[in-house]
Amino acid sequence: MAAAGTLDTVKQRGTLQCGVSEGLFGFSEKDAQGKWSGFDVDFCRAVAGAIFDDPAKVAFVPLTASERFNALRAGTVDLLSRNSTWTLEREAGLGLAFAGVTYHDGQGFLVMRSLNVTSALELNEAKVCVEAGTTTQANLADFFRANAMKYEERAHQKSSDALAAFQAGDCNVLTRDQSALYAERLKLSKPGDTVILPDVISKEPLGPVTRADDFPWFNIVKWVNFALVNGEELGITSKNLADATASTKPDVRRFVGAEGGLGKMLGLDDGWALRAVRASGNYSEIYERNLGVNSRLGIPRGLNQLWSMGGVLYAPPLR
């Protein structure tokens, strides 16, 4: 058990310290006025909403891929919401706990259109830019070895450096999670000169991360994640909270805290799930606003659709 308990520390501080990426369109980015937005950012705000009923009570801490887990372990941040892949090594080896999956992703390749390739299997002897210290780097090596192909790796400590090297022609292929490639492509001076190949070479379940030594805090983050998905399933949105509060349906009444006493089990107010949706919207609202087909990135829901709609998104019930 953690000495003070992260929830107590967060409440005493009055803000949630949330680790995010340094700047990835659609996931976490800061505008000229200093306001953060994005899919991962909205998850942080949902957690703050569940605790404080105030999505503004978050301090965003930008972290590189190499910094993120050490910052979490050291207590610099309470929660990491930074497009991070859930793996055995990161939990068992680093003493971390992934609070479920918020985005089902997979690694892909962005190539210069001039290469005239349509498949990753045509990338033999390519020069590939990759961010160091990531599962992406390990997957890259596995893919080329498994397919008996050669490549020149151009590893960079920051994703921004890898993108700059790709644009400068130091490499003709950039590899990242596909969602990140959609985002990074928009930063190029001539995005139309590039193409994202259809190949997906790995499973990349992305989700929020906590330290493993504080199970009650892990539970809060995990159930906020599940509440956003359950909110979508139940049709509870940030725009119809009054209707949800007046509902007589048992599962909706448990969600809004009218019965069940579920919040107390987490150390929160019984209206915690309603507060989370009030702060950021349900899962669908968060996805569509930041990543969906009508956003800048234009990424279809795909695997991230509800299980009842052909996807794999599934959350345990609030009861």
The residues spanned by each domain of the chain are 6-103+205-309, 107-197
pTM over 0.85: yes
Euclidean distance between CA atoms 79 and 210, whole angstroms: 5
Largest interatomic CA distance in the chain:
63
Confidence (pLDDT) at 242: 97
CATH superfamily of 107-197: Periplasmic binding protein-like II (3.40.190.10)
User: What pLDDT, on the 0 to 100 scale, is given for residue 304?
Assistant: 97
Q: Which two tokens stand for residue 243?
A: 């209707």
* pLDDT per position as a tens digit, 149-206: 999 999 999 999 999 999 999 999 999 999 999 999 999 999 999 999 999 999 999 9
Residue 124 DSSP SS3: coil
Q: Whole-angstrom Cα distance, residue 10 to residue 48?
A: 9
What is the topology classification, in CATH, of domain 6-103+205-309?
Answer: D-Maltodextrin-Binding Protein; domain 2 (3.40.190)
pLDDT for 1: 36
Low pLDDT (below 50) residues in the chain: 1-3
Domains 6-103+205-309 and 107-197 share a fold: yes
C-beta separation of 47 from 111 below 8 A: no
pLDDT tens digits, residue range 288-304? 999 999 999 999 999 99
